[in-house]
A and B are shown apart, each in its own frame.
Chain A
Amino acid sequence: MDNQLKRGLLDVCVLAAILDEDSYGYKIIKDLKPYIELSESTLYTILKRLESAQMLTVRSVEHDGRLRKYYHITDAGVRRIEDFKEDWKEIMTVYQFVTKEDHQNHE
């Protein structure tokens, strides 16, 4: 997949992974695994980016005698997901056009 496209998708994927309930690094990676490939270092960069864009907040929670960071989605983060859904509708319209052209040319 094109890198630029994947980067945009990953941002939304990570936000979606914390939409229903707060989550932590390893769980986000596990939850996304069936859908999109994501390495630890990439996730770190995305979380940082989303945090500075104020789309999520971070809090440390004690777990089993150590600290674990939980990520919580903000209103701006939820809006980002909604925007993505809107954008996607437009992309699907273009997709239909592109595949239709393909079809005609190959007949």
Chain B
Amino acid sequence: MSKQEFLARLRDGLNGLPQDDIAERLDYYSEMIDDRIEEGLTEDEAVAAIGAVDVIVPQIVSEIPLPKLVRESVRPKRQLAGWEIALLVIGSPVWFSLIVAMLAIMFSVYVVIWSVIFSLWAVDLAFAVSSVACLIAGLVLILRGGGSAGLVPIGAGFILGGLSVFLFFGCLAATKGAAVLTKEIAAWMKSLFIRKENGR
């Protein structure tokens, strides 16, 4: 691949980022390629040494904060005409509430995921607490002369205790899973803003 082709592909991939950012990154990679060529590599080799565009682009996008991406994709590319501004103002009850709704949906996705995790831990805690309560109740029964009747709550206490330990590892795995999931959702939201720009 030639240097020009590499830079063109990179520019396409980064479309949707702030223009200054794109220009600066293209300059940076261009300098990297030129320095390698100066050292004796062919243009093809120098480009190959930088790595694949498909790998570099997601890396760059993941490092840019989401608010910056959003800001850039809603910023008009030219001066707005008077009637456009008027339309924006008149339409504000519609688009503003749509944006609020979108943010609310994003937020609720997070809430749903994490409330499942929260309730799992709550169940586990309930098992652990009731296990201790059963053990204490059983011991009290025996000490008060209840005899073998105290064995039932003690047995139940052990079963509940076992379940809570078992569930603990399940909860841990679920929490890790949810953390990965929310991270992936965030990455996906970012990719929406990039893809939208490319589609134009």
Stretch at the interface among B32-40, B94-102, B158-166, B173-181: B32-40
The one of A27, A39, A44, A64 in contact with B28, judged by C-beta atoms closer than 8 angstroms, is A44
What size tier do the contact residues of chain A reach? 10 to 19
Stretch at the interface among A11-19, A66-74, A76-84, A93-101: A66-74
Contact of B31 among A39, A45, A69 (CB under 8 A): A69
Q: Are A64 and B56 in contact (CB under 8 A)?
A: no
State which residues 153-195 of B face A: CB under 8 Å.
none
Main secondary structure of the interface of B (DSSP, over half): helix
Q: How many chain B residues have a CB neighbour from A under 8 Å?
A: 17
**Complex: A41 Cα to B64 Cα, angstroms:** 13
B32 adjacent to A26 (CB under 8 Å)? yes
Taking A39-B51, A45-B63 as contacts, is the C-beta distance between A25 and B56 under 8 angstroms?
Answer: no
Q: Interface code A26-47, partner B: CB below 8 Å = 1, 0 otherwise?
A: 1100000000000111001100
Q: Which of A48-107 contact B (CB under 8 A)?
A: 64, 66-69
Structural contact, B35 and A24, CB atoms closer than 8 A: yes
Assess whether B11 is interfacial by the CB under 8 Å rule.
no
Task: Please list the residues of chain B having a beta carbon within 8 angstroms of any beta carbon in chain A.
Answer: 25, 27-29, 31-32, 34-36, 38-39, 50-51, 56, 59-60, 63
By Cβ-Cβ distance, the 3 closest A-B pairs, closest first, are A26-B35, A41-B59, A41-B56
Q: A26-B39, A39-B51, A45-B63 are in contact. List 5 more A-B contacts (CB 8 A).
A: A25-B35, A40-B50, A41-B60, A44-B25, A66-B34
